[in-house]
Chain A
Amino acid sequence: MEKLVWITYLTIGIFFLGSISAFLIGKFTERWNSFWVAVLTGLIGFILTCYIALNLGEHPIVHKFNWFTFGSFKIPLGIYVDSLSVVMALIATGIGFLDIVFSKGYMEDDESPHRYYFEKLFFIGSMVGLVFVSNLVGLYIFWEGVGLCSYLLIGYWYWKRSAAEAALKAFVMTRFGDVFMFAGIIVAWVLLGTINFQELNALALAGAFSVKLGLLISLLIFIGAVGKSAQFPLFPWLLDAMEGPTTVSALIHAATMVNAGVYLVARMFPFFDYSHALIVVGFVGALSAFIAATGALAHTEIKKILAFSTMEHLALMFVALGVGSAAAGIFHLMNHAIFKALLFLAAGAVIHMTHQKDAFKLGGLYKYMPQTALLFLVGILALAGVPPFNGFFSKDWIIGATYAYGNPVIFGLTFVAAVLCIAYGFRLWFVVFTGEPSEYSKHAREAYPIMLVPLYVLAVLTVVIPFFKEQIIHFLFGEVHEPFFLNLLVATLTVMFILFGIVFLIYYKRVISTVKFLAHPLGKGINEFLYNGWYVDAAIKWICRHVFYGSIAKAVEWVDIHVVDGAVNGTARLSLACWDRCRKIQTGDVIDYLTYFVAGVITLVLLILFV
């Protein structure tokens, strides 16, 4: 047991060590040497994680220590590794490793690979730390580390204005959620006296605190998860984050960052369950899934379609958690990580070879990149949930669980979203790989072997995973009852088949034209509505600008008019922003400053007199 503890710490540490040495070695020797360091680090990290997974017995690995103590106040830290964390770590390190290998081909023209691999290893390391720590404070530290790395990686091509802005947006939006999460942690710590996951869950199971308090804490923490996992309404950053390199998107979407939110909810599942927060999780998930699935239908960029699909699948996981089936959610997380990594990396190969991100400007690529096309198809099939592939098993389980849960709204939204996968998936595939080759397609050639090898590994995994479903579920959750409804399965497959038919007719046979639909104002409106993600981004901007900014400005304005300036020149400049007025106190006149000083002293004295 003692050995496993040290190996766990070593696993977290090796990534940070590797990231720094990759940077230094790349900086002071040949730049691409950092790649070998990164590969070595990733491999060792993966092997160590596998070792932990194989040696993990019935009991979780637990180690506790205090970061520091001060009287009765102490900040505990420590690790807690059970099957859930180990599976998350396997996903992060395994897919991270494949992604590192793939990047050798994708980033071949890059000038600073040492920076790239430094940030990348740091990212993976933060994620591994995040799933191994045993309490909320430790999680928060790594949580911020993940956010920082995503900021750096999304803005990796910082000289591109759009990339820089996307990075900033991702940072600000996830930070916004984190503020609430931090508040939740503080509330939990102060009022419940603990921040350890196991103790919190035990308290919840024992019913040691009121449901309302639990609901408050759960919701505050859930807002953090919403920001990190890009759910409604904090998802617009995920779309803009496509400005980063595609390998980074693969890492963010499949292996690390967005999974963190799902992991957090799963980790605190009993707590959420006790405090009745799961219904909120379910509703947010269902709504996000619906928004994302419809949005993906309208988009034209390869990566943005994939981004919407990520959001949808994460939402499905949240729905699964929300309806109380944590096993389905985590199983789907694992499957999603595999096929989404496959899709993103394949898309990366396409984009790298054609230098074009817009799917509708490509076409007929099958002829030039047959292997990539087939691998992409495997990914699409898994994404759509077609039977022999892994996506089918978990997605069907989620639909079944939702049906069994019995809430018609959640079920309806989830069902529609789940079946729409096949529509946008095949729409994307048909548009990119079939039809007449375009200008961009004609220069393309097959991806390099070093890029194809990770793809093949992932594609094989999509087929192999279903065979081990029982073992995996047992490893994770022990005995779990899986709801099964034959009618529902048949209905799902039928609707999916019909949708496939429609997509086939529109985009492959091209017998139905969408031009007329788009020309009609209503159709155009719907398209734009979906394209812009239901205008949530615009709404957030509007709220920021008008509600927060406007109200603060108005409040300060009022104070200024009625208190500072009197009626002298108040009403004239209503439209000035808040600070523009506020700073007028700083008159620059030394006598005014002295007056404020004395007035301050007298006010304090009066306050003492009367308070």
Chain B
Amino acid sequence: MLLEADVHAYLFLSFSLLAVGVYGLLSRRSVIRMLFAVEMIINAANLNLAIFSAQRNVDGEIFAFFTIGLAALEAAVGLAIVIVFYKRFGEVIPSKIRNLRW
């Protein structure tokens, strides 16, 4: 097998991807980068599913299909919202629009 690694290494990979995604979501102020970050988080979960599925049974892999589909839908929805937001405010930085608060 090409990728010979034990489960801890794989978990390290997915946790790293999760951490990078969280880092991106919290530090990037532009909506497109935030979308990238969201996709990374969901991919981290997907990686987990695939790895455990390879060790256990086929259910995880099938759930990963659905997750990919959901993530794609989420990306589409996100982009729709982002575009509407941009068209209205001329701005891709949501932190600047803070009318709803307190």
Query: How many whole Å from B23's CB to the nearest CB in chain A?
Result: 10
A577-611 residues with Cβ-Cβ distance < 8 A to B are: 583-584, 586-591, 594-595, 598
State how many residues of chain A have any CB contact under 8 Å with chain B.
11
Contact with B along A553-591 (1 / 0, CB 8 A): 000000000000000000000000000000110111111
CA distance A588 to B101 in the complex (A): 4
Chain B positions within 8 Å of A590 at CB level: 94-95
Query: How many whole Å from A564's CB to the nearest CB in chain B?
Result: 14
A583-B102, A584-B102 known; A589-B26 Cβ under 8 A: no
Contact with A along B20-48 (1 / 0, CB 8 A): 00100110010000000000000000000
CA distance A587 to B94 in the complex (A): 12
Closest to A584 in B: B102
Contact with A along B87-102 (1 / 0, CB 8 A): 0000000110011111
CA distance A587 to B100 in the complex (A): 9
Partner of A586, one of B22, B29, B95, B101: B101
Chain B positions within 8 Å of A598 at CB level: 22, 25-26
Closest to B37 in A: A594
Query: How many whole Å from B62's CB to the nearest CB in chain A?
Result: 27
User: A595–B26 contact, CB under 8 A?
Assistant: yes
CA distance A589 to B29 in the complex (A): 10
CA distance A338 to B94 in the complex (A): 71
User: B22–A588 contact, CB under 8 A?
Assistant: no
State how many residues of chain B have any CB contact under 8 Å with chain A.
11
Chain A positions within 8 Å of B29 at CB level: 591
Closest to A579 in B: B102
User: B26–A588 contact, CB under 8 A?
Assistant: no
User: B98–A587 contact, CB under 8 A?
Assistant: yes
Chain B positions within 8 Å of A586 at CB level: 101-102
Q: Chain B contact residues: over half helix, strand or loop, or mixed?
A: loop
Chain A positions within 8 Å of B100 at CB level: 588
User: A587–B26 contact, CB under 8 A?
Assistant: no
Partner of A594, one of B25, B98, B102: B25
Chain B positions within 8 Å of A595 at CB level: 26
Closest to A595 in B: B26
Chain A positions within 8 Å of B22 at CB level: 598
Chain A positions within 8 Å of B102 at CB level: 583-584, 586, 588
CA distance A598 to B22 in the complex (A): 8
CA distance A460 to B22 in the complex (A): 85
Partner of A591, one of B95, B99, B101: B95
Query: How many whole Å from B28's CB to the nearest CB in chain A?
Result: 9
CA distance A591 to B31 in the complex (A): 10
Query: How many whole Å from B78's CB to the nearest CB in chain A?
Result: 12
Chain B positions within 8 Å of A584 at CB level: 102
Closest to A599 in B: B26
Chain B positions within 8 Å of A587 at CB level: 98, 101
B60-102 residues with Cβ-Cβ distance < 8 A to A are: 94-95, 98-102
Query: How many whole Å from B92's CB to the nearest CB in chain A?
Result: 12
CA distance A591 to B33 in the complex (A): 12
User: A591–B98 contact, CB under 8 A?
Assistant: no
User: B25–A588 contact, CB under 8 A?
Assistant: no
CA distance A598 to B94 in the complex (A): 18
Query: How many whole Å from B13's CB to the nearest CB in chain A?
Result: 19
CA distance A162 to B39 in the complex (A): 61
User: B98–A589 contact, CB under 8 A?
Assistant: yes
CA distance A587 to B95 in the complex (A): 10
CA distance A587 to B101 in the complex (A): 6
Chain A positions within 8 Å of B99 at CB level: 588
Query: How many whole Å from B45's CB to the nearest CB in chain A?
Result: 14
CA distance A584 to B29 in the complex (A): 21
CA distance A266 to B24 in the complex (A): 69
CA distance A51 to B36 in the complex (A): 81
CA distance A589 to B102 in the complex (A): 11
Query: How many whole Å from B68's CB to the nearest CB in chain A?
Result: 23
Query: How many whole Å from A504's CB to the nearest CB in chain B?
Result: 66
Contact with A along B51-62 (1 / 0, CB 8 A): 000000000000
Query: How many whole Å from A538's CB to the nearest CB in chain B?
Result: 33
CA distance A594 to B101 in the complex (A): 15
CA distance A273 to B23 in the complex (A): 67
CA distance A590 to B30 in the complex (A): 11
Chain B positions within 8 Å of A591 at CB level: 25-26, 29, 94-95
Closest to A590 in B: B94
CA distance A374 to B102 in the complex (A): 64
CA distance A590 to B100 in the complex (A): 10
Query: How many whole Å from A209's CB to the nearest CB in chain B?
Result: 50
Contact with B along A160-179 (1 / 0, CB 8 A): 00000000000000000000
User: B95–A589 contact, CB under 8 A?
Assistant: yes
Q: Most chain-A CB neighbours within 10 Å: which of B29, B100, B102?
A: B102
Closest to B29 in A: A591
Query: How many whole Å from A577's CB to the nearest CB in chain B?
Result: 13
CA distance A422 to B41 in the complex (A): 83
CA distance A588 to B102 in the complex (A): 7
CA distance A587 to B99 in the complex (A): 10
CA distance A594 to B95 in the complex (A): 11
Q: Report, nearest first, the 8 A-B pairs whose CB atoms are least far apart.
A: A588-B101, A588-B98, A583-B102, A589-B95, A590-B94, A595-B26, A586-B102, A591-B95
Kindly list 15 other residue pairs between chains A and B, CB separation below 8 angstroms, not including A586-B102, A594-B26.
A587-B98, A588-B98, A588-B99, A588-B102, A589-B95, A589-B98, A589-B101, A590-B94, A590-B95, A591-B25, A591-B95, A594-B25, A598-B22, A598-B25, A598-B26
Q: List 5 A-B contacts (CB under 8 A).
A: A588-B101, A588-B102, A589-B98, A591-B26, A598-B26
